[in-house]
Amino acid sequence: METRSLSLINPGKNSNGFRLDGKTVIVTGGASGIGRAIAHLFAANGARVCVLDIHSKEARETVQEILDGGGEASAHECDVTNQEEVRAVFQELAQRGGIDTLVNNAGISHVGKLESTTERDFDRVFQVNVKGIYHCMLAAVAHMKVNGGGVILNMASIAGSSGLADRFAYSTSKGAVIAMTYSVARDYLACNIRCNCISPARVHTPFVDGYLRQHYPGREEEMFGKLAHSQPIGRMAEPDEVAALALYLCSDAAAFVTGVDFPFDGGFFNLRG
């Protein structure tokens, strides 16, 4: 009969909870929205956070906020669609202190159905949302294997597994993220590399506010309410809430969790009427 360890029976003993002390964490797209929330929370829980973003000014601002709060962080300009640039940045970070965790958060959205999605639009979404994650995982895995393991967390979306109107390219890309997550989790079990993904529903980020200003000027509050109530729970998620799940999945508390797509959807997938 299998016996559970005392540390699992009594989490208060020999346990650091969701702490990430001594861990170096790369967060792509870490300058705003969900990525920024993850960077802040991980730093508050002891991680050395490397904020990667194509927007260097915003990345530096996020890092300064973390430093002002007593955390440890650094900013790095990086275009995840450029494999050579990604490889160079990851090599630099590995030489500084290793790479323990990668959070693939960088991504872009697109509104349109099949017939209104141009080839250029389709390619751009895939360059960022799919190849960007591929480039970063490829660069990270090489270092994690040498160091005896690591954690990869990809940001997917309920759009990848549920039919959403006018999200053809975006949904397709996020479906690919989920599939990549399963594949990497399977292929690197023996290397002690865990890989999971989170699939949020609508999250209240600057993207949402900008979208409403652009497409519904003067009706922002009305349309925000409609979007919020399209989820059974009656509101959008907040970035900090996504970050809390990310912290668990990247911590040792989730050491038994790999190859899982976590819906984070306020009941959207299972409770829609």
Strands 261-264 and 193-200: parallel
Residues catalogued as catalytic: 170
Place of tokens 């529903």: 201
Q: Which of these, 51, 48, 110, 37, lies nearest to 80 by C-alpha position? A: 51
Q: Which of these, 114, 123, 235, lies nearest to 165 by C-alpha position? A: 114
Q: Which of these, 273, 158, 166, 252, lies nearest to 211 by C-alpha position? A: 166
CA distance 175 to 78: 24
Strand order in the sheet with 72-77: 72-77, 48-53, 24-28, 101-104, 150-155, 193-200, 261-264
